């Protein structure tokens, strides 16, 4: 069974703690040795791309970054066809996409194929779980624990805020949001 991470809601509090514990180990397990990871970037990125490429490398895998203009999601090929092609070559797909529905369609296509290739959300218009995991790790390292911590987010009530709110609720942290009037969470 695939373990997609399309939303922070795909993780439990224990999952998050295990991910953060693993990230803090001095020696990372080489769980991706000899495996490829397709990193699809429909939107360009400096930090997310470098973090994702280095994470795959540090886990022993081979990252292959693919720009949006190279594959043309839903213009040259459907998201489903792209997912099926990439899942033929890679053991995981990380994707930074414009629409969350693209991730859902990719994951559904792979699930229907019987392939064991997870899709990980590197950013969508709905959420940014990889950023939240990094933020939670930083807060835990600085404050020692997340449980009982109050996290204040000042800015647009956007995909980043949504993921952080979910991440905080799953780890026992309190979340407070201050956002300009008229800026609401995306549906």
What is the pLDDT at residue 184?
A: 64
Domain of 110, in residue numbers: 8-123
Residue 136 CA to residue 134 CA, distance in Å, equals 6
Beta strand residue intervals within the chain, DSSP E: 36-41, 62-67, 92-96, 119-123, 150-154, 174-178
Closest CA to 92 of 74, 112, 115, 113: 115
146-178 pLDDT, tens digit per residue, is: 999 999 999 988 999 999 999 999 999 999 999
> Are both 22 and 46 inside the same structural domain?
yes
> Are both 106 and 166 inside the same structural domain?
no
What is the pLDDT at residue 1?
A: 46
> Are both 115 and 74 inside the same structural domain?
yes
DSSP string, 10-39: GS-HHHHHHHHHHHH-SS---TTTT-EEEE
> Are both 119 and 145 inside the same structural domain?
no
> Are both 58 and 110 inside the same structural domain?
yes
The whole-angstrom distance between residue 34's C-alpha and the CA centroid of its chain comes to: 22
> Are both 101 and 76 inside the same structural domain?
yes
In a domain, 115, yes or no: yes
Residue 32 CA to residue 63 CA, distance in Å, equals 10
Q: How far is CA 117 from CA 88, 121, 148, in A?
A: 9, 13, 35
What is the pLDDT at residue 138?
A: 98
- Domain count for the chain: 2
> Are both 30 and 74 inside the same structural domain?
yes
What is the pLDDT at residue 180?
A: 84
Indicate the residue among 123, 141, 166 that finishes a domain: 123
Per-residue pLDDT of the chain (187 residues; tens, 9 = 90+): 469 999 999 999 999 999 999 999 999 999 999 999 999 999 899 999 999 999 999 999 999 999 999 999 999 999 999 999 999 999 999 999 999 999 999 999 999 998 999 999 999 999 999 999 999 999 999 999 999 999 999 998 899 999 999 999 999 999 999 988 876 655 5
> Are both 17 and 101 inside the same structural domain?
yes
Q: Specify the CATH number for the domain of residue 65.
A: 3.40.50.1370
Contact 173, 150 (CB under 8 A): yes
> Are both 135 and 171 inside the same structural domain?
yes
> Are both 87 and 170 inside the same structural domain?
no
In a domain, 3, yes or no: no
Q: Which tokens sit at 87?
A: 């899942």
> Are both 41 and 104 inside the same structural domain?
yes
């Amino acid at each position: 069974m695939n373990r997609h991470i399309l939303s922070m809601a795909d993780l439990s509090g224990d999952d998050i703690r295990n991910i953060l514990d693993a990230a803090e180990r001095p020696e990372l397990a080489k769980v991706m040795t000899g495996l490829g990871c397709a990193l699809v970037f429909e939107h360009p990125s400096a930090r997310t791309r470098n973090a994702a490429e280095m994470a795959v490398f540090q886990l022993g895998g081979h990252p292959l970054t693919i720009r949006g203009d190279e594959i043309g999601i839903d213009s040259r090929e459907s998201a489903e066809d792209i997912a099926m092609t990439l899942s033929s070559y890679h053991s995981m797909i990380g994707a930074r996409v414009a629409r969350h529905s693209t991730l859902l369609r990719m994951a559904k296509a792979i699930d229907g194929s019987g392939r064991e290739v997870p899709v990980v959300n590197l950013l969508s218009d709905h959420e940014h779980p990889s950023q939240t995991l990094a933020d939670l790790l930083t807060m835990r390292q600085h404050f020692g624990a997340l449980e009982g911590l109050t996290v204040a987010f000042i800015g647009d009530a956007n995909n980043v805020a949504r993921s952080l709110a979910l991440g905080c609720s799953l780890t026992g942290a309190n979340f407070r949001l201050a956002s300009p009037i008229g800026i609401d969470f995306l549906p």
